Structure 1
């Protein structure tokens, strides 16, 4: 985990939203990204929760920029499933451009989920997860250069 990702785990929800709002969308990514779920941001529990989620539930996303889709890398054995459409659109947070990860027409299990990402550093995106347009959690995606 990069030092920047570790810093994100120590930020509060408001600080993560503020950082997200200050950044541009960046290009639609391509390739595999290591994911870090940011649950209970700014607490001593956030790093441990992130490790457990990474181990047992979600390891990241694999983007195919040419087709405008992605697959989530899930479960301990690395299944690549839960497809989303990927495109640029306006953020639910601040109505500024972001990259939308839209599960509404591609997934039975996650059709009510919408993720948004913005580039916050080279090869690192900060994301927000929405459930029925209500903010749920943040996450980070780290691509290898």
Structure 2
């Protein structure tokens, strides 16, 4: 099934978790992706919060698989900052393979953050964000 951003924004946390666990890691992506934060899934606030975050804060990621890194696009100007190492590893959610976005050794600002992504549709990834070992939010990336 092909998914889009709106479908993910309409899902509950349980539905997002089930989709993530049922999806393959996929290949490490390349290039620029438009990102959408998924906060308070399954509530009427999810879409409004996502729009506000996208405008004022985080807008997506730019992957460089040849060097095993990415940069986040932040601010209304899409500045590329906050580097992460990118590699395949086991998910903290279900211990199956995912693509890990690891900030622990590359960022002073986000060194306690770990993202995990899996391919849910062609050129479309669902992600989980961890702060330490605690799950924080979900997000999606459209290439």
TM-score range normalised by the length of the shorter chain: over 0.9
Q: 2:130, 2:136 within 8 Å by CA — same for their partners in 1? A: yes
Q: Name the CA distance, whole Å, in 2 between partners of 1:93 and 1:80.
A: 28
Q: Name the CA distance, whole Å, in 1 between partners of 2:106 and 2:74.
A: 16
Q: Name the CA distance, whole Å, in 2 between partners of 1:95 and 1:72.
A: 25
Are residue 39 (structure 1) and residue 39 (structure 2) matched? yes
Query: Hey, what does 2:24 align to over in structure 1?
Result: 24
Partner SS for 1:50 = helix
Please give the residue correspondences for 1:83-102 in structure 2 after superposition, counting only pairs within 5 Å.
83-102=83-102
Are residue 71 (structure 1) and residue 71 (structure 2) matched? yes
Where does structure 1 differ by over 3 angstroms across 4 or more consecutive aligned residues? none
Please give the residue correspondences for 1:47-62 in structure 2 after superposition, counting only pairs within 5 Å.
47-62=47-62
Shift of 1:133: 1.2
Query: Hey, what does 2:82 align to over in structure 1?
Result: 82
- With normalisation by structure 2, the TM-score equals 0.97
Query: Hey, what does 1:12 align to over in structure 2?
Result: 12
Q: 2:3, 2:121 within 8 Å by CA — same for their partners in 1? A: no
Partner SS for 1:105 = coil
Query: Hey, what does 1:113 align to over in structure 2?
Result: 113
- Paired residues, what number? 142
Where do 5+ consecutive residues of structure 1 fail to align?
none
Where do 5+ consecutive residues of structure 2 fail to align?
none
Shift of 1:3: 6.4
Q: 2:3, 2:120 within 8 Å by CA — same for their partners in 1? A: no
Q: Name the CA distance, whole Å, in 1 between partners of 2:63 and 2:5.
A: 20
